[in-house]
Structure 1
Amino acid sequence: MLHNIKLVVFDLAGTTIYDDGSIALCFQQAMQQFGYTVPVDVINPLMGYKKPQAIQLMLEKYEPDASKITAELVATIHEQFEQNMIDYYEQLPVVQALPNAERVMMALQKAGIKVGLNTGFSRAIADVIIDKLGWMYHGLANYLVASNEVPAGRPHPFMIQRMMEQAGISNPKEVIKIGDTEVDVNEGKAAECLYAIAVTTGAFSREQLLPYTPDFILDDLAELLPILQIEA
């Protein structure tokens, strides 16, 4: 096993679970309900951000009157988005894991490496997703931290640092971060993880990820195992 890794932190949507575009659509609908028409191609690059921050950024782009961009407006739109997402996942018959995600998690567990999940979603949304998947119950994942449980979301390192505290890890070089967006990569770097790894299964293509210089870019999570010298 490589470098005595003790914890691998995975993003959720686009990294370990399939996103068919419904998340961006829920975002678009929430903005539309308050009079803002935001194209999906503007929403997608913001997918990894803490969602109130993403809403703030969209308002700054689409609201010409800066005085209307208040904390109350951001919170109200976020509440609508959160409800849209909870309704979507509760009605979804099955939350679909991305190819090899569960196999990789199981291989890490067998190798004695803890698995953490973090997300730009709120805890309320994340809990619905994880409950449907059963990953915590079945021992595939050990920790879950959502962006509203820490002072600031990605690209700040706080979610990873919270998980390190929970796992009793003090050395970030014993941790790897994996995600599908710019802010996932920068979160791993900010936390000083051994590797900040990107995947092409979500919001960003390989070409879009390259400028952020991840340590590796994976097309399939199964590619992680040989990097860590772990057998499937």
Structure 2
Amino acid sequence: MSIQLVVLDMAGTTVADDGLVLRAFDTALASAPVAETDAARQYVLDTMGQSKITVFRHLTGGDEQHAQRLNAAFEAAYDDLAHLCTPIDGAAELIRDLRAAGIRTCLTTGFSRPTADRILSALGWRDLADLTLTPAEAGRGRPYPDLVLTALLRLGADDVRAVATAGDTTSDIRTGLRAGASVVAGVLTGAHDAAALREAGATHVLSSIRELPSVWEQS
């Protein structure tokens, strides 16, 4: 089946974050500390790609007020850093090429809409993809399938098997698999290494998002 829709993660996959997410988490944790900070930081690394408020709810043991304070501090810290984001080499060109070939594209993120828009504006990407989605707009964030399935519904793909996904975290891989995508690629430009991506079930592991079209062009 030919690919009709490509769903791409942002930070670490199409956007070179260079540790900005972790810097913003550190700022948030400093402003509203949680117990066992080192363990919390490791959990943040392990769950990269997931909805940030969900991560903070876990770290605070379900204390919603504390989680919301942490999330607000994180969003404010990342907003201050968003201008430092740069595109992964070839990412914008890839999306333009996909659209020119008639393949619909969606950029997804675990950030809130205001933070996602700040990144997109900093990169000049507000109109780059056919669609951008945040967890609140899809129902649930990663590792649930909602982001991919919402993209399929909104962009009119005919079949989940006509979807390809790509991301740099194990949560990205689980999302693609749970959504039924035929291509669930992990890329090595972000948070998790090849072994972790393969263990999560990636159908392909790529050095860069630029390699993604070769997956179906050679099949």
Using the size of structure 1 for normalisation, the TM-score is 0.87
Shift of 1:194: 1.2
Q: Output the CA distance in 2 between the equivalents of 1:168 and 1:35.
A: 44
| Mapping of residues 134-153 of structure 1, within 5 Å | 134-137=124-127, 140-153=128-141
2:101 is equivalent to residue 103 of structure 1: no
What one-letter code is carried by the residue in structure 2 that aligns with 1:16?
T
- The match for 1:84 is 77
- Measured in 1, the distance between the counterparts of 2:43 and 2:204 equals 26
Give the Cα separation in 2 of the matches to 1:121 and 1:102: 20
> Where does residue 12 of structure 1 map in the other structure?
10
Partner of residue 37, structure 2: 38
User: Which 5+ residue runs of structure 1 have no aligned equivalent?
Assistant: 61-68
State which of 116, 126, 139 in structure 2 corresponds to 1:126. 116
Name the SS of the counterpart of 1:72 in structure 2: helix
* Greater Cα offset, 174-183 or 126-135: 126-135
Q: Are the counterparts in 2 of residues 120 and 146 from structure 1 also a CA contact under 8 Å?
A: yes
Offset of residue 95 of structure 1: 2.9
Checking the alignment, whether the CA contact within 8 Å between 1:136 and 1:142 is kept in structure 2 is: no
Q: What is the CA–CA distance in structure 2 between the aligned matches of 1:129 and 1:220, rounded to whole Å?
A: 20
Equivalent residues of 2:49, 2:109 under 8 A apart:
yes
Equivalent in the alignment of 2:179: 191
Match of 1:121, as an amino acid? F
In 1, the alpha carbon distance for the partners of 2:31 and 2:187 equals: 32
Q: CA RMSD in A?
A: 1.7
Deviation for aligned residue 1:45: 1.7
Task: Please point out which of 144, 158, 172 is paired with 1:156.
Answer: 144
Residue 71 of structure 1 corresponds to which residue in structure 2? 64
Cα distance 1:180–1:86, how it changes in 2: closer, same or farther (>3 A)?
Answer: same
Q: Deviations over 1:39-64 (max 9, x none)?
A: 4444222211110111123334xxxx
State the AA in 2 paired with 1:171: D
- SS of equivalent to 2:141: coil
Return the alpha-carbon distance in structure 2 between the equivalents of residues 211 and 150 of structure 1: 26
Which structure has the larger Rg? 1
Is 1:229 the counterpart of 2:217? The answer is yes
Q: What are the ranges of 5 or more consecutive residues in structure 2 without an aligned counterpart?
A: none
Structure 2 residue aligned with 1:47: 48
Q: Report the residue type matching 2:217 in the other structure.
A: Q
Runs of 4+ aligned structure 1 residues displaced above 4 Å come to: none
Counterpart CA distance in 2 for 1:134 and 1:27 is: 25
Paired residue for 2:165? Answer: 177
Tell me how far 1:228 sits from its aligned partner: 2.4
Can you list the C-alpha shifts for 1:134-183, whole angstroms capped at 9, x where unaligned? 2233xx31100001223211111111111112112241111111101111
Q: So what's the TM-score if we normalise by structure 2? A: 0.91
